[in-house]
Amino acid sequence: MAAIATFLTVLQISKQRRASYRPELVLSRTPFEGGTAEAANCRLPDLWNAQRQDNEADEKAKPARDWSFLAVPLANIGLGAARGVNVSWSFPIEDLADQLNKRAQQTLTPAYFTFVNGVFSLKSERLGNWTSLWLNQKSEHVDFVVPIAIQRDLLMLKIPHAYVAGVSALLVLGVDQKDSSFPDIPSLCVELEYSDIANERYSSSFEIEFHLVMIGDKGQTIRGYLEPRKRE
C-alpha cells in the first residue's frame, strides 16, 4: 500500500510539472472600421483598422489615423511559454473569386477577379486595381509567446490582405445588387501549431467570423467586428 501511494504521488507530481509547461493560445474579438484610400481611385473599403474607443470630447486631440493592416490579438493564457508558433491562414479564396465575378456581371460592374497560382487580382476602372500575393500570406512564424501574466502587450496577428480585399469587394457589390439578398461573408480560419519548453507539441484551430455592423457611402464605409471561435 505504501508503494502504491508513493507511485500515485510521483505520478501526480509529474502531471503537475507537465501542466506547468503547457501553453494555451487564444484569439480575441476585434472591432474595426474600414474606409477607402483618399488618394486612390477605388471604391473598396479595404483599409481596415481597429476601432478606437475615444470620447467625443477628445476629438480635437486625436492623432492622425494610421491605416495599417488590421490585426487580431493573440494571447497565451497557459502557464508555460509557447515556442516555434506556426500560423496557417485559410479561406475559400477560389470560391470567393468566382462569386465576385458573378456579382460583378449581375450588377453590370466592369470588374474582373482572378486567382491564379496563389495570386489574387482585381482589374476594374470603377473599383480599382490591385494584386494580392496570397501565396506569401498563407503562413507566418512566431518565435515565442510568453504567458499573458508576464507579457502585458499582446502579440498581434495581421489579417491577410487577400481576405480584406476580397471581403471589401463583396460588400461593395452586395450594396450595388439591390434586388438580391446581402452576400454571406466567408470566415477566415487560422491554425496554430506550437511546442512548450519540454518540446511537447500542441495545436489549436480558430474560425474567425466576420460580423458587419454598419455600411454606408455606397459601401465605402464599414464597421464591424471579427469574432474568433475555437474549433474542436
Residues 6+ apart with CB under 8 A from 7: none
Is 178 exposed, middle or buried, given 0-12, 13-18 or 19+ CB atoms closer than 10 A? exposed
Contact 87, 74 (CB under 8 A): no
Q: d(Cα 119, Cα 156) in Å, to the nearest integer?
A: 25
CA dihedral 140→143→145→151, nearest 10 degrees, is -120
Instruction: Please give the Cα distance from 29 to 168 (Å, whole number).
Output: 19
Question: What confidence tens digit (pLDDT) does each residue in 93-136 have?
Answer: 999 999 999 999 998 999 999 999 999 999 998 888 899 999 99
Distance CA 111, CA 170 (A): 12
Where is pLDDT greater, at 206 or 17?
206
- Band of pLDDT at residue 217, cut at 50, 70 and 90: confident
HSE-up of residue 43 (Cα within 13 Å, Cβ side): 22
H helices present in 116-213, as ranges: 161-176
pLDDT digits (tens, 9 = 90+) for 35-46: 887 655 667 888
Residue 21 pLDDT > 90, yes or no?
A: no
Q: What is the pLDDT of residues 56-70, one digit of tens each?
A: 434 443 333 444 579
- Please give the model's pTM, rounded to 2 decimal places: 0.84
